[in-house]
């Protein structure tokens, strides 16, 4: 038996071992792995999920049959004796040695970079240290927001910024390049990305660098090249990586011009007994900082070790990436920057919708070479698989709104669906034909979707187009869909999550199924959302019946049906805002929002409002928010129907109605459409004969116009159809699915919806109407429910051991005559 020694226990080293074990049926290799980190191999691609609450154990990769030595880095290679010495003094011999040492973070030579409070963002230990520092900063007794500076606006830099924000800090990103993600996106995509990221409350500074870091008492000061000084509690360097090639250098192995161990197409170094894979390998002088090329190298070396002749073709290495950065979809694939001679660029830039799409095509516009997607990356899977293939349609039609919908039937069998693991459409189709009838089975057979996961939507499409019904499981704890769980809860009378998961699920639940079941229970009128066990299922907003804001305070929105309010009501709201020092603003839905309430103040605020005749506006819930209206025939000379009265009737009818997502409505008194009804989940426009009902619209990130469902309805018929529409949506939509997406995903779309709720094709309209009548009859105000229950009131404290003590971290300043949160870190010049 021969000895294979692998130095490095990261994702690529782990894949190499796995690939050798898969191929070495004769057991010719005894494998030893030496790792510098004390932890076993883990998923570094999902590193930021550690801050989201995913445990280190959940990130750990499967255990393999190897002799594993962790926390003991290799320090020397004796190529003549074929041995490796570790820091502890151990000596391992090898017949074949694979260097999988990965990379190390690049920290610019900035004076002060080693000061306490400065970190890199690379390992779980780094995240532990950052988390501790952030917690200490948040606990410090001093005014102002807790802040952070991230040096680097690339992939990891934006990941670090997101993680720091989750830890409660306010991050600013400093990027020396003129745009964010300079490797992945171009100037146009970078401009939109910056705007979208900044709209998520993240400050970005491009085209500047950090020149010095100093300490000012308990704060760090980062001085930028333009003279600006940024205060920070924490500074994180994420300015790129460098190959961890020091061990190879000391062993005398040739190194690439920009670092990395030089390897040939077999991933072999100058020494025939030594290979290098992943970020430490310089293939034809170039290193790759992505997992997919590393996996490709690992597979090639594994094949070589068992006698094969596989090689890596640099031109075929896929450097595509897809990610969601601070809520913004970004994807880049193929020749994204049009470096191919004669390449043409086709761009569709829609700043209103917040999307940027670019395709790079050959000089005859017949072959796709690459592309960039910002804001909407839903076409990434299909487009990436078409790289190098003939275009199935005009390139503009492939990226324009309402253009060609790319199905997997447009892809040849040779198209690569999973670039991380080099899995083609043909291989996946073969797996499906052999019995892999769900995504987990395809993953097990082909490894597709087991790395970054960006190809999973395409796997589902392939299953559907192969005639296989895709699982609609809500999550890993429930095999049934949300709609099926709704019917189960409705039919069985189950009223507790613990009962439901014990009978129809497994485990303890998660942040997917718990809020979904909470919504189902609330939709069925099973009592107050904070009653007993149900209270533990709610997210932060529902848990306190108010909207959490950026500085830890809450906003309060009383219901104002149809936007109609008396002077006495206005005075009452004004007095509450004045007495509690709240910031007030008129919302887009014709309501008044009061910001800045501390959690312990909420009951007192509600009591004042309830006594004045107000109730919860459910701005915090996945529920009916508002029915907006114009003034209609009451005042307007163009109005043809009383839009205000109808809006008030509808809002009072549907108030408190819990749904898969928020629901907004509007009523316009004439075709001039002043209430913007066609941008709502359901909208009503008056006609000379009655009302036109539109459904499936929404504003937000991807605005959509509602479509006409029925026309010239009398008021009684209109209300009945809306009853049916809303209850059918609540029963059948997926979790967090707006009405627009629900209708789009429905087989038959609007025509099917019309058949069900207008024509009663399924014979369920009477049942839907009865369900709505039950909701109307059982409605009660959630704020009043808290005020009448001492046990619920006890939840509303900042500190359990000091219930009357306000949160000392909450600070405000006055702006335009109103209190606002203390803003981003002070900028000094």
Report, as an integer, the average pLDDT of 297-321.
88
Residue 586 is classified by DSSP as: E
What CA–CA distances, in Å, run from 349 to 45, 193, 399, 400? 29, 12, 10, 9
Kindly state whether residues 44 and 90 are assigned to the same domain.
yes
Please, what's the b/e burial string for 509-521 (b: 16 or more CB within 10 A of its CB; e: otherwise)?
beebbbbbbbbbb
C-beta atoms surrounding 129 within 10 Å: 14
At 279, which CATH number?
A: 3.50.50.60
Do 122 and 231 lie in a common domain? yes
Query: Residue 825: is its pLDDT beyond 70?
Result: no
Rounded CA gap, 797 and 599, in Å? 6
Task: Kindly report the number of other CB atoms within 10 A of residue 570's CB atom.
Answer: 12
Cα Rg of the chain (Å, integer):
30
The mean-pLDDT minimum among 397-411, 657-671, 705-719, 759-773 falls in 397-411
129 and 223 fall within a common domain = yes
Of 504, 522, 538, which closes a domain?
Answer: 538
Would the annotation count 765 as a binding residue?
Answer: no
Annotated binding-site residue? 452: no
- Is 279 found in the same domain as 175? no
pLDDT greater than 70 at residue 145: no
Arithmetic mean of pLDDT, 62-87: 95
Which pLDDT value is given to residue 357? 94
Looking at residue 327, its pLDDT comes to 65
**What is the reported pLDDT for 824?**
39
**Do both 522 and 465 map to the same domain?**
no
Residue holding tokens 């950052």?
130
Structure tokens at 607: 């009591």
Query: What pLDDT was estimated at residue 449?
Result: 76
Residue 45 has phi, psi (to 5 degrees) of -60, -35
Could you report the per-residue pLDDT of 133-143, keeping only the tens digit for each? 988 888 776 65
pTM reported for the whole predicted model: 0.59
At residue 162, the pLDDT reads 85
183 and 268 in a single domain? The answer is: no
Q: What is the Cβ-side half-sphere exposure of residue 798, based on CA atoms within 13 angstroms?
A: 16
Residue 396 lies in a domain: no
Say what angle helices 715-732 and 765-778 make with each other, to 10 degrees.
Answer: 90
Please indicate, yes or no, whether residues 186 and 278 belong to a single structural domain of this protein: no
Domain hosting 433: range is 407-471
pLDDT tens, residue by residue, 392-412: 888 998 888 767 766 666 677
Q: What are phi and psi of 336, to 5 degrees?
A: -65, -25
Is 220 in the same domain as 122?
A: yes
Which DSSP string corresponds to 510-560? -TTHHHHHHHHHHHTT-S-TTSGGGGGG--HHHHHTSEE-TTS-EEE-B--
The answer to whether 340 and 203 have CB atoms below 8 angstroms apart is no
Assess whether 123 and 233 both reside in one domain: yes
Q: Give the pLDDT score at 800.
A: 53
pLDDT band at 658 (very low <50, low <70, confident <90, very high): very high
Over the stretch 736-790, which tens digit does the pLDDT of each residue have?
A: 889 988 998 888 889 999 999 999 999 999 999 999 999 999 999 999 999 999 9
Provide the CATH number for the domain around residue 429.
Answer: 1.10.10.1100
In a domain, 773, yes or no: no
Res 94: pLDDT: 97
Please identify which residue in the block is written with the tokens 């294979």: 4
Q: Is residue 293 part of a domain?
A: yes
Specify the pairing of strand 344-350 against strand 355-361.
antiparallel
Predicted confidence at residue 826, as pLDDT, reads 39
Quote the tokens at residue 359: 């395709």
Whether 219 is covered by a domain: the verdict is yes
Beta strands 83-86; 91-93: pairing state: antiparallel
Short-list 138, 174, 137, CA closest to 153 = 174
Q: What is the mean pLDDT of the chain?
A: 88
- Domain shared by 165 and 255, yes or no: no
Is residue 378 within 8 Å of 454, Cβ to Cβ? no
Tell me what pLDDT residue 705 has.
Answer: 87
pLDDT value of residue 273: 96
Q: Are residues 229 and 268 in the same domain?
A: no
Q: Mean pLDDT, to the nearest integer, of 258-280?
A: 95
Contact criterion met (CB below 8 Å) for 403 and 395: no
- Is the domain of 123 the same as that of 232? yes
pLDDT in the model for residue 797:
78
> Looking at residue 363, what is its pLDDT?
92
Please, which pLDDT band fits residue 57 given cuts at 50, 70 and 90? confident
Using CA atoms, how far apart are residues 167 and 119, in angstroms rounded to an integer? 15
Cα separation, 211 vs 583, in Å, equals 39
Classify residue 714: in a domain, yes or no. no
Task: Name the strand (E) or helix (H) holding 694.
Answer: strand 691-695
- What pLDDT band is residue 609 in, cutting at 50, 70 and 90? very high
Contact residues for 586 (Cβ-Cβ < 8 A; gap 6+): 592, 593
* pLDDT of res. 809: 62
Least confident of 202-211, 436-445, 730-739: 436-445
pLDDT number for residue 807: 63
Are the C-beta atoms of 114 and 247 separated by less than 8 Å?
no
621 in any annotated domain: no
Domain end (from 452, 471, 490): 471
| Distant-in-sequence, close-in-space partners of 642: CB < 8 Å, separation ≥ 6 | 632, 633, 634, 669
Highest mean pLDDT among 119-123, 384-388, 530-534, 542-546: 119-123
Q: What is the DSSP letter of 367?
A: B
pLDDT at 326: 67
The residue ranges of DSSP E strands in 142-285, in sequence order, are 147-151, 170-175, 203-206, 210-216, 219-224, 229-232, 234-237, 241-243, 261-263, 274-276, 281-283
Residue whose entry in the numeric block shows the structure tokens 């087989």: 747
Question: In this predicted structure, which of 235-249, 307-321, 413-427, 632-646 has the lowest mean pLDDT?
Answer: 413-427
The pair of structure tokens assigned to 774 is: 């039950």
Of 254, 280, 313, which residue constitutes the final position of a domain? 313
Instruction: Decide if 39 is inside a domain.
Output: yes
In a domain, 87, yes or no: yes
Our count of domains for the chain comes to: 4
Q: What is the pLDDT averaged over residues 635-664?
A: 93
The residue ranking higher by pLDDT, 698 or 560, is 560
Nearest to 746 by CA among 759, 731, 760: 731
């Amino acid at each position: 038996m021969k000895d294979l020694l692998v130095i490095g226990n990261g994702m690529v080293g782990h894949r190499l071992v796995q690939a050798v074990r898969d191929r070495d049926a004769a057991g010719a290799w005894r494998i030893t792995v030496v790792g510098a980190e004390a932890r076993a191999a883990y998923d570094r691609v999902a590193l930021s999920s550690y801050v989201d609450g995913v445990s280190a154990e959940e990130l750990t990769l499967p255990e393999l049959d190897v002799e594993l030595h962790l926390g003991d880095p290799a320090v020397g290679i004796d190529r003549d004796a074929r041995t490796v010495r570790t820091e502890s003094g151990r000596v391992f011999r090898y017949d074949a040695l694979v260097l999988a040492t990965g990379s190390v973070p690049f920290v610019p030579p900035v004076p002060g970079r080693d000061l306490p409070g400065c970190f890199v963002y690379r390992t779980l230990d780094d995240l532990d240290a950052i988390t501790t520092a952030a917690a200490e900063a948040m606990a410090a007794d001093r005014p102002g927001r807790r802040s952070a500076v991230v040096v680097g606006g690339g992939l990891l830099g934006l990941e670090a910024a997101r993680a720091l924000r989750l830890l409660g800090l306010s991050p600013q990103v400093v990027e020396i390049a003129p745009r964010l993600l300079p490797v992945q996106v171009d100037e146009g995509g970078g401009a939109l990305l910056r705007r979208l990221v900044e709209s998520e409350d993240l400050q970005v500074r491009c085209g500047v660098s950090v020149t010095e870091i100093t300490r000012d008492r308990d704060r760090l000061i980062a001085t930028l090249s333009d003279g600006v000084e940024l205060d920070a509690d924490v500074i994180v360097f994420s300015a790129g990586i460098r190959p961890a090639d020091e061990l190879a250098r000391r062993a005398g192995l040739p190194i690439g011009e920009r670092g990395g161990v030089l390897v040939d197409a077999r991933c072999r170094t100058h020494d025939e007994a030594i290979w290098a894979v992943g970020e430490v390998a310089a293939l034809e002088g170039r290193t790759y900082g992505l997992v997919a090329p590393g996996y490709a190298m690992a597979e090639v070396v594994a094949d070589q070790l068992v006698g094969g002749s596989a090689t890596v073709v640099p031109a075929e290495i896929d450097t595509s990436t897809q990610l969601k950065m601070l809520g913004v979809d970004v994807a880049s694939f193929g020749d994204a920057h049009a470096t191919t001679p004669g390449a043409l660029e086709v761009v569709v830039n829609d700043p209103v919708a917040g999307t940027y799409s670019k395709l790079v095509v050959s000089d005859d516009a017949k072959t796709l070479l690459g592309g960039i997607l910002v804001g909407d990356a839903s076409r990434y899977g299909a487009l990436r698989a078409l790289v190098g293939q003939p275009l199935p349609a005009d390139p503009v039609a492939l990226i324009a709104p309402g253009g060609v919908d790319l199905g997997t039937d447009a892809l040849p069998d040779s198209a690569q669906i999973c670039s991380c693991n080099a899995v083609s459409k043909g291989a996946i189709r073969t797996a499906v034909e052999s019995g892999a009838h769900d995504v987990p089975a395809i993953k097990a057979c082909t490894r597709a979707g087991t790395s970054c996961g960006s190809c999973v939507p395409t796997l589902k499409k392939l299953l559907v187009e192969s005639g296989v019904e895709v699982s609609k499981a809500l999550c890993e704890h429930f095999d049934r869909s949300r709609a099926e769980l709704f019917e189960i809860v409705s039919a069985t009378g189950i009223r507790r999550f613990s009962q439901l998961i014990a009978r129809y699920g497994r485990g303890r639940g998660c942040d997917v199924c718990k809020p979904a079941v909470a919504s189902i229970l609330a939709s069925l009128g099973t009592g107050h959302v904070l009653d007993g066990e149900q209270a533990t299922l709610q997210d932060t907003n529902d848990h306190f019946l108010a909207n959490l804001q950026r500085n830890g305070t809450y906003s309060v929105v009383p219901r104002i049906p149809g936007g109609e309010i008396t002077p006495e009501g206005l005075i009452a709201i004004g007095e509450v805002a004045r007495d509690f020092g709240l910031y007030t603003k008129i919302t887009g839905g014709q309501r008044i929002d009061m910001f800045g309430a501390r959690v312990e103040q909420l009951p007192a605020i509600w009591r004042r409002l309830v006594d004045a005749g107000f109730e919860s506006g459910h701005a915090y819930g996945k529920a009916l928010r508002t029915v907006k209206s114009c003034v209609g025939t009451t005042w307007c000379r163009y109005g043809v129907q009383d839009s205000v009265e109808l809006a008030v009737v509808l809002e009072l009818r549907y108030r408190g109605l819990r749904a898969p997502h928020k629901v907004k409505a509007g009523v316009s008194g004439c075709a001039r459409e002043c209430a913007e009804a066609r941008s709502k989940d359901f909208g009503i426009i008056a006609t000379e004969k009655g009302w036109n009902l539109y459904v499936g619209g929404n504003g937000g990130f991807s605005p959509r116009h509602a479509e006409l469902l029925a026309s010239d309805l009398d008021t009684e018929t209109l209300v009945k159809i809306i009853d049916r529409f809303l209850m059918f949506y609540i029963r059948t939509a997926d979790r967090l699915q707006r009405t627009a997406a629900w209708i789009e995903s429905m087989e038959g779309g609007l025509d099917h919806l019309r058949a069900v709720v207008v024509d009663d094709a399924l014979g369920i309209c009477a049942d839907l109407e009865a369900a709505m009548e039950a909701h109307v009859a059982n409605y009660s105000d959630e704020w009043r429910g808290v005020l009448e229950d001492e046990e619920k009131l006890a939840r509303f404290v900042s500190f359990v051991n000091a219930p009357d003590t306000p949160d000392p971290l909450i600070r405000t300043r006055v702006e335009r005559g109103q209190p606002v949160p203390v803003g981003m870190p002070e900028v000094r010049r």
